[in-house]
Structure 1
Amino acid sequence: MGLSRRGLLASATAAAVAPAPPAAAAGHRGRHRTGFERLAAAGYDRLDGQRVGVVTNPTGVTRDARHIVDVMHADERVNLVAVFGPEHGFRGTAQAGGSEGRHDDPATGLPVYDTYLKSGRPLAEVFTASGVDTVVFDIQDVGARFYTYIWTLYDCMEAAQLAGKRFVVLDRPNPVTGRAALGPVLHREFASFVGRQPIAQAHGMTVAELARLFNGEFLATPVQLDTVTTTGWRRSEFYDTQGLPWVPPSPNMPTPDTALVYSGTCLFEGTNLSEGRGTTRPFELLGADGIDGRWAAAANELALPGVRFREAYFAPTFSKFQGTTVGGVQIHVHDRAAFDPVHTAITLLVTAKKVWSGFAWRSDDWIDKLTGSTWVRTAIDAGADADEVAAGWRTELAAFRTVRREYLLYG
């Protein structure tokens, strides 16, 4: 799998704020505080004397739904001099595959630099040009390897090291829990912006934990890393237990329900079926022109844990099948603790191929980028069922879980 096990190096270079004990019961949910809330409560002492730039997007909000950039800009204790926008932009106005470009933020007047599709020396030059001493990262992740914000984190860590900058990660909960890593592990020859390094498809980590993993295992030279943990979050808890507002991290991630299925059903981007973009339920609605109720019936016969499938018809307003009514399924998760998004998605791929003669992979083999190797595509084409497909990544996943354990911050 290519992991170097630089655990001791990571612990020497990453100074993490020790997490406080989690809340003892559901009635204590109010004790949860994000990394930013803890940073602010300590008077921003970690940023004292530093010119600060923040990598963030619309999810960087406080409990009362104010953006952290607006809060920090108004606080004389912070010398905030720049903002760095990822895919979709700092204020989130761009669609998938887009950004807002270099501009001045109308609300604060701060310069906003575009990080999308930048890495290495070009991104280091952006940090240098901005004049910052410390780069702060605060973006809500959704727990999937192919969600690009964690690779923005990776790229920014690498670039900050090259530019000689400190790097501070403000943590937030993994909205779909941090119980376990699931699915195939990326093979390095399939690295792209939807997967830079060999981690599992559903990584089961927070961004601060990922930052520690990246620093300890993947960066050629570790960055000067500081992580500010959350408090009051248990690994088994979902986002809606935290009392935090949900802000869509991207236009097609409208609710925590979307995040729950996304680490599996995003694989349908690699097929000729709609993954539900252009509907009010992206990644929960899947379908194509010519599919009928046999797909939902075939999937329900397998009695997958925690989920049922409804025969559904929908007409996407953009993306695949724009303006065409298509047939397919809607995913209904009734027991999210038992639900396995990756196994469910593999099952849906297998059953779709069986019941619909029009099934095809995207001609560019995008599925291989999403899954991290040729295995899923070739195994399904060879007639494997979902359990047989999963058996093909079992050894690599076990190895990743062992390394992952060294970098976890929460019980």
Structure 2
Amino acid sequence: MKKTRWLRYLSSLILFCTLTAAGAADLGLAKEKKSGPAVQTGIELLLEKPEMLKGKKVGLITNPTGVTQDLTHDVDALLAKNVNLVAVYGPEHGIRGTEQAGSVPGTYEDPKTGLPFYNLYGKTPQEISPLFRDVDVILFDIQDVGSRFYTYISTMAYAMKAAALEDKPFIVLDRPNPIGGEKVEGSVLDPAYESFVGIYPIPVRHGMTVGELAVLFNEQFLVKEIGKKADLQIVQMKGWKRDMPYDETGLAWVLPSPNMPTPDTALVYPGNCLFEGTNLSEGRGTTRPFELVGAPYIKGWEIAERMNRLNLPGVAFREAYFNPTFSKHAGINVGGLQIYVTDREKYDPIRTALAIMVELKELYPDDFAWRSDNWIDKLMGTDKVRKAIDEGASVDDIIADWQAELNAFKQLRKAYLLYH
């Protein structure tokens, strides 16, 4: 009798579990089968048709961000497809991403592949072009962060010129702009302030992918500078949209440089990198680079109170204290702010950074200072911002002064956008 009851109970339990599982599947509650990323990058699409490189000696410009969706590095992925990869070239921070800002990695033989690894950082197009003579085609695959002064787009432009001088095709394997492709903000570079952190008259936040920038550079600037265009090809992404945050791409974030640990860092970078041009730490030497800013003379509670009182859109501030392990104020306790983006659609990183500078200038007129080399002018692409802050101008007035040039660039860029 007990055995019969037990069998009935067991049958009922199995039936219940079966019906529950079926119901869950009908309601969409069953575990979904994993799909690939929403975005396919240029390297993924190139690897689907490697025959376009057949019979060619290939050079690759890349760094740690040059990976497939399964995080295989481009070098390994291309070799696995029997591509004749003969040379690899790296930007600032090096091919393996080990160097700090401004460091120049040397040329060496890669211990893993035996390939020659060359440094392009700090070299002119004329110095780069001999490095391209033994290849038939150059690939470029690096994750940019969407700011004019992040030097990878300068390396791309110089490499494009070098390729044009050597009559070698240049193929850009496109990747997302991690801070979006819609917002265009900040001052447009005045050519009088051209440097490696700003080689062309584009705004601080350009809202373009590296592929789009390559087309713009080729059509607008290379012809004027060297009398010819590069033989340029863009392997466009699939699935990327201009309003797509990086966390919706389905792609893993690989550090583009040692102080760019997350996409959130990239979002604040167009504004907070400007503190490089001041006597404040921009958070290098901490676990929150560019989210923390401070100096020994700052009382965190004073500046946090003033900044929160401004009610700037999409951002909040916390008084913060930190001790950088390297870079400015290394080993010294400093006070300042931690910047929290509360709404990335409303947040304006450049307006926010300028507002902090204006408040600091008013709070600590004898302490707040620019770097002696006027690095801020190179970052902003003009000396007008530095002079305006020194003269007590408002943030609204500073931004209004560059609006005409910014609007002109917005019109210019429309012809070179590859995605909607």
TM-score with structure 1 setting the length = 0.91
Instruction: Say whether 1:57 aligns with 2:80.
Output: no
Q: CA RMSD in A?
A: 1.2
Q: 2:181 aligns with which of 155, 160, 178?
A: 178
The code of the aligned residue for 1:269 comes to E
The code of the aligned residue for 1:201 comes to V
Partners of 1:123 and 1:159 within 8 A in 2: yes
Q: 1:353 aligns with which of 356, 361, 365?
A: 361
How far did 1:288 drift?
0.3
Q: 1:100 aligns with which of 90, 96, 105?
A: 105
Instruction: Say whether 1:297 aligns with 2:322.
Output: no
Cα deviation, 1:351-404, whole Å, max 9, x if unaligned, reads: 111112310011110000000011110111111111111011000000111111
The code of the aligned residue for 2:333 comes to T
The code of the aligned residue for 1:321 comes to H
Residue 89 of structure 2 is matched in structure 1 by 84
Cα deviation, 1:315-347, whole Å, max 9, x if unaligned, reads: 000011101110000000011111111111111
How far did 1:28 drift?
8.6
Q: 2:392 aligns with which of 383, 390, 393?
A: 383
The code of the aligned residue for 1:391 comes to A
Q: 2:242 aligns with which of 205, 217, 235?
A: 235
Partners of 1:312 and 1:327 within 8 A in 2: yes
How far did 1:46 drift?
2.6
Question: Which whole-Å CA distance do the structure 1 matches of 2:245 and 2:185 have between them?
Answer: 16
Residue 417 of structure 2 is matched in structure 1 by 408
How far did 1:200 drift?
0.4
Residue 45 of structure 1 is matched in structure 2 by 51
Instruction: Say whether 1:364 aligns with 2:369.
Output: no
How far did 1:100 drift?
2.4
Question: Which whole-Å CA distance do the structure 2 matches of 1:341 and 1:28 have between them?
Answer: 34
Partners of 1:291 and 1:326 within 8 A in 2: yes
Partners of 1:314 and 1:326 within 8 A in 2: yes
Residue 68 of structure 1 is matched in structure 2 by 74
The code of the aligned residue for 1:344 comes to T
Residue 307 of structure 1 is matched in structure 2 by 315
Question: Which whole-Å CA distance do the structure 1 matches of 2:50 and 2:363 have between them?
Answer: 57
The code of the aligned residue for 2:245 comes to F
Question: Which whole-Å CA distance do the structure 1 matches of 2:326 and 2:38 have between them?
Answer: 41
Instruction: Say whether 1:143 aligns with 2:146.
Output: yes
Question: Which whole-Å CA distance do the structure 2 matches of 1:402 and 1:28 have between them?
Answer: 38
Cα deviation, 1:90-111, whole Å, max 9, x if unaligned, reads: 1111111113211111111111
Partners of 1:181 and 1:200 within 8 A in 2: yes
How far did 1:158 drift?
0.4
In the TM superposition, 1:201-216 aligns within 5 A as 201-216=204-219
The code of the aligned residue for 2:236 comes to T
Cα deviation, 1:37-89, whole Å, max 9, x if unaligned, reads: 01111x2133222110000000001111110111112222x111110011111
Partners of 2:38 and 2:248 within 8 A in 1: no
Partners of 2:47 and 2:81 within 8 A in 1: no
Partner-residue secondary structure (3-state), 1:209: helix
Partner-residue secondary structure (3-state), 1:30: coil
Partners of 2:37 and 2:69 within 8 A in 1: no
Partners of 1:52 and 1:79 within 8 A in 2: yes
Residue 109 of structure 1 is matched in structure 2 by 114
Instruction: Say whether 1:261 aligns with 2:264.
Output: no
Instruction: Say whether 1:165 aligns with 2:168.
Output: yes
Long gaps (5+) in structure 2: 1-33
Question: Which whole-Å CA distance do the structure 2 matches of 1:120 and 1:31 have between them?
Answer: 36
Partners of 2:38 and 2:250 within 8 A in 1: no
Moved more, 343-352 or 137-146: 343-352
Question: Which whole-Å CA distance do the structure 2 matches of 1:397 and 1:90 have between them?
Answer: 34
Question: Which whole-Å CA distance do the structure 1 matches of 2:240 and 2:410 have between them?
Answer: 20
Residue 7 of structure 1 is matched in structure 2 by none
Instruction: Say whether 1:273 aligns with 2:276.
Output: no
Question: Which whole-Å CA distance do the structure 2 matches of 1:388 and 1:31 have between them?
Answer: 41
Partners of 1:311 and 1:327 within 8 A in 2: yes
The code of the aligned residue for 2:52 comes to R
Instruction: Say whether 1:320 aligns with 2:323.
Output: no
The code of the aligned residue for 1:47 comes to L
Moved more, 55-64 or 45-54: 45-54
Partners of 1:29 and 1:242 within 8 A in 2: no
TM-score with structure 2 setting the length = 0.89
Question: Which whole-Å CA distance do the structure 2 matches of 1:257 and 1:171 have between them?
Answer: 21
Long gaps (5+) in structure 1: 1-26
Question: Which whole-Å CA distance do the structure 2 matches of 1:365 and 1:185 have between them?
Answer: 17
Q: 2:128 aligns with which of 123, 137, 157?
A: 123
Structure ranking higher in helix proportion? 2
Question: Which whole-Å CA distance do the structure 2 matches of 1:45 and 1:380 have between them?
Answer: 56
Question: Which whole-Å CA distance do the structure 1 matches of 2:147 and 2:38 have between them?
Answer: 27
Partner-residue secondary structure (3-state), 1:244: coil
How far did 1:29 drift?
7.5
Question: Which whole-Å CA distance do the structure 2 matches of 1:290 and 1:349 have between them?
Answer: 14
How far did 1:133 drift?
0.7
Question: Which whole-Å CA distance do the structure 2 matches of 1:239 and 1:247 have between them?
Answer: 12
Distance 1:29 1:309, change over 3 A: farther
Cα deviation, 1:250-302, whole Å, max 9, x if unaligned, reads: 11111111100001110000000111110000110000002111111111111
Percent identity, please. 56
Q: How many residues align?
A: 381
Partner-residue secondary structure (3-state), 1:159: helix
Moved over 4 A (4+): none
Partners of 2:146 and 2:179 within 8 A in 1: yes
